[in-house]
Amino acid sequence: MQVGQALLDQQVIDRNCEQMGKVDGVVLELGKGKPPRVFTLVIGGGTAARRVHPGFARWLVRWRRQWGPKDDHPLEIPWSKVLKIGVDIKVDLEAEHTPALAWEHWVRRHIIGRIPGA
């Protein structure tokens, strides 16, 4: 299995099969004399933007800090929480309780939720 192919940019779903986002980053743990270990999967918080263009990412982070949810930071999912790697990556978390859906909640509360019928 390849780290980039199997993990990076893959869809993440929570234990209820709700969509959480894409894997924007993977953290490796290095140890002396030991092979690097897959440590955490990172979702959101501007992580993907950094891969596109660092300058754009910096601008985006500033913009996000001004507008948007207060708990808008990257979600780091420890490897131990990963349940299954297949069509999607299933993790043993509840999406609603993680910052992965910070923006979803913010949009729901401030924009979409205000319109009748939502």
Residues in touch with another protein (CB under 8 A) = 1-6, 8-12, 18-22, 24-32, 35-39, 42-43, 48, 51-52, 79-80, 87, 103-105, 107-108, 111-113, 115, 117-118
Complex with another protein: residue 66 or 80, whichever CB lies closer: 80
* Structure token pair of residue 107: 């949009």
Shortest separation between residue 25's beta carbon and another protein, angstroms: 5
Phi, psi of 77 (to 5 degrees): -100, 115
* Residue 113, SS3 per DSSP: helix
Complex with another protein: residue 38 or 61, whichever CB lies closer: 38
Q: Are strands 89-91 and 75-78 parallel, antiparallel or unpaired?
A: unpaired
- Rounded to the nearest 10°, the torsion over CA 75, 76, 79, 83 is -10
Shortest separation between residue 52's beta carbon and another protein, angstroms: 6
